[in-house]
Structure 1
């Protein structure tokens, strides 16, 4: 079945495939949407001081943004198989920009929570653009197209901390929210002008669409295994993301918002990895990528524990986690998109919902571990989630072998 089945534009001719420049613009848009949920991570201390709340309460914005994103993935992204996809993506971006403006002008914590909730819920526009990139690209290079767009998404997640930290030094912690809102409005308008219309010619009702998500999860065991694998890995890394600013701004490091933000530049290693992982997935080496990434994840956590108190010994294992996260994610998507090519948006919704439930859970577990056991408990939590991911990968390998035998 064609990757482009279900779009009113039919199977694109080679001349009508999305160009690299269009894919790059989609990558920037996905990065901006996804990254908007991570600006608060290096700013927790500044937010707490500015709004008169504790650091622990300020840290709840990290979990809230990820929970809201997971809800949006479950209830909004499936609309990509029902509504016109360009209009859906642009509409979601416009509402997310409104959420950013609320956060950018927040004068109390409740207002920040509202802005965070709206931004998290509607920034799932990023996840409507990823399956569009797969559907509207050359089928022989769809892995590369997804890898390119996902590079933007992961760049947004990994580098949002840098942008937030640096802009915080310019005019306070609200600056990044205001600037990003304007950029998102500009990108939404540009995407409306350059993206083709794409719609499923036989859309289901919304209720039927939601029911189909459960049906997809039941029908495809590897969708379940890869979704859980992604959730555990993102949860493990989120343990670090939700506590890193508290560690680096405290005794032993005493870093400012901008300095903590600069640490996020290590995320460029993950961006490069995403593109490479996409190319390897096209060559059928997704399992090798997954295994290698999990090795890096566990080594990274071990290094973070042993390197406590030394910034340079902290940065190298941080880089390993930044590389492991996108490598696993891209290899996961290379698997799930092949399961039901006619339902990419819904398959993506199932996967990404579990993915961000894992992230939210990791953030909450990380904050709890930090509060009750300090850095040692935090590292132990991250390693436990990584070990569970190993077990899921072993199970997924068995499922793959079973699929090969049945062919």
Structure 2
């Protein structure tokens, strides 16, 4: 009992947002944890050569890790609504560390891929933390989610840099050994920092999984935002996976460190995107979303030119990361507004879709690069964003037709004020 009183921060009892020190601690841990999903990217060429595997085979290990993460989102994340979160995340950190140790010792690509799937499954703990703080944040949800996502997205990009540098210094296996140690330290920190709160729900596990279908069927905003997220993350991974192969060969011939440092190019875009969450708090989700999607689509012209020139490659990556991560922040802010009592399940639906799209982008990007070079990879990524733009515009036209039909069928009322869009329509795109 005394432990509970000591662990629960004052703001938590009041239903407000988490205190700043705790928020920043969890932001750092989110960045460290999500890095597990990306350490492989700059190492694909090196690992492929060690295990005598081709581009597609080496890329499949990263794709398999993202598939594992999607499975974890689907099967493990809903447990955060019915279990004590502190116990759940500590167990997941230990399991993640164990999987990283196996990756360190992997004797062949099959073992590496299998353990990568396991690491992907347990790395879902990062979404448990995001959903937890999103619910506590109230009216500051967009800003808090933006802070957490800054940590995560910084981890996504810096993980490539750290991975490349460690691989050059001590071999690629050292990357996963260091990651295993970081996860154990994170587990200790989470055990000390997180409140030992009771679960939000007592629904049985199988019924909990069944409720996911109900959420999908009854929440059109969730469906649309999940599609946008899947397409954007697919494009993101198609480019970043292919970039490892591009920069390892002509005309770049970069080392693992150089390939990893490419991740720093996107850091400026990520930090700028972190402020996009405030637009959601101001009700500007819809125009911000289409603007960012169009900007992302335009960025692929520069990314394509980066196949032979480094300057447009760097500029294109900055713009691409800004657009894609900005859309992701808007998506999550909208999804968490839908139901405070099912944060983990809402996250499950959105992030499962997100990483299924990411896995498809990783696999298709590697295959497109293998058969069509850098142009093929850019075409795959651009096509995904183009589909997202078309979906947004189609939904806009459908809603306008529906509203026009409703106005025509409604009885005329003399002196009636013009109808303003309600709060649900503000962020419906």
Gaps spanning 5+ residues in structure 1: where? Answer: 1-7
RMSD: 2.2
User: Are 1:152 and 1:271, in contact at CA under 8 Å, matched by a contact in 2?
Assistant: no
Q: List per-residue Cα deviations over 1:106-135 (Å, max 9, x = no partner).
A: 232222112211111100000100011112
Q: Does 1:227 align with 2:226?
A: yes
Gaps spanning 5+ residues in structure 2: where? Answer: 1-7, 404-420
User: Are 1:270 and 1:325, in contact at CA under 8 Å, matched by a contact in 2?
Assistant: no
Q: Does 1:308 align with 2:307?
A: yes
Correspondence for 2:169:
170
State the Cα distance separating 1:239 from its structure 2 match.
Answer: 0.8
State the Cα distance separating 1:199 from its structure 2 match.
Answer: 3.3
User: Are 2:11 and 2:18, in contact at CA under 8 Å, matched by a contact in 1?
Assistant: no
CA distance in 2, matches of 1:101, 1:86: 23
Moved more, 168-177 or 269-278: 269-278
State the Cα distance separating 1:292 from its structure 2 match.
Answer: 2.3
Three-state SS of the structure 2 residue aligned to 1:253 is coil
C-alpha change, 1:230 and 1:398, in structure 2 (3 Å) is farther
CA distance in 1, matches of 2:392, 2:249: 36
Mapping of 1:92-241 within 5 angstroms?
A: 92-137=92-137, 139-241=138-240
CA distance in 2, matches of 1:342, 1:201: 7
State the Cα distance separating 1:56 from its structure 2 match.
Answer: 2.6
CA distance in 1, matches of 2:91, 2:356: 24
C-alpha change, 1:395 and 1:23, in structure 2 (3 Å) is farther
C-alpha change, 1:376 and 1:201, in structure 2 (3 Å) is closer
CA distance in 2, matches of 1:398, 1:312: 38
User: Are 1:273 and 1:326, in contact at CA under 8 Å, matched by a contact in 2?
Assistant: no
Correspondence for 2:422:
404
User: Are 2:134 and 2:144, in contact at CA under 8 Å, matched by a contact in 1?
Assistant: yes
State the Cα distance separating 1:314 from its structure 2 match.
Answer: 1.0
CA distance in 2, matches of 1:277, 1:103: 36
Question: TM-score normalized by structure 1?
Answer: 0.93
C-alpha change, 1:396 and 1:189, in structure 2 (3 Å) is farther
Three-state SS of the structure 2 residue aligned to 1:237 is helix
Correspondence for 2:295:
296
Mapping of 1:227-306 within 5 angstroms?
A: 227-306=226-305
State the Cα distance separating 1:397 from its structure 2 match.
Answer: 4.2
C-alpha change, 1:64 and 1:38, in structure 2 (3 Å) is same
User: Are 2:59 and 2:363, in contact at CA under 8 Å, matched by a contact in 1?
Assistant: no
Correspondence for 1:49:
49
State the Cα distance separating 1:405 from its structure 2 match.
Answer: 8.7
State the Cα distance separating 1:201 from its structure 2 match.
Answer: 4.6
User: Are 2:78 and 2:345, in contact at CA under 8 Å, matched by a contact in 1?
Assistant: yes
Correspondence for 2:346:
347
Three-state SS of the structure 1 residue aligned to 2:78 is helix
C-alpha change, 1:15 and 1:223, in structure 2 (3 Å) is closer
CA distance in 1, matches of 2:360, 2:263: 22
Correspondence for 2:64:
64
CA distance in 1, matches of 2:107, 2:285: 47
C-alpha change, 1:373 and 1:84, in structure 2 (3 Å) is same
Higher Cα radius of gyration: 2
Correspondence for 2:88:
88
Correspondence for 2:37:
37
C-alpha change, 1:255 and 1:199, in structure 2 (3 Å) is same
User: Are 1:34 and 1:126, in contact at CA under 8 Å, matched by a contact in 2?
Assistant: yes
C-alpha change, 1:11 and 1:340, in structure 2 (3 Å) is farther
State the Cα distance separating 1:13 from its structure 2 match.
Answer: 4.5
User: Are 1:102 and 1:114, in contact at CA under 8 Å, matched by a contact in 2?
Assistant: no
Mapping of 1:11-26 within 5 angstroms?
A: 12-13=12-13, 17-26=17-26
State the Cα distance separating 1:157 from its structure 2 match.
Answer: 1.6
CA distance in 2, matches of 1:347, 1:10: 26
State the Cα distance separating 1:296 from its structure 2 match.
Answer: 2.1
CA distance in 2, matches of 1:320, 1:404: 32
CA distance in 2, matches of 1:392, 1:332: 15
Three-state SS of the structure 2 residue aligned to 1:342 is coil
Moved more, 192-201 or 111-120: 192-201
User: Are 1:162 and 1:265, in contact at CA under 8 Å, matched by a contact in 2?
Assistant: yes
User: Are 1:155 and 1:270, in contact at CA under 8 Å, matched by a contact in 2?
Assistant: no
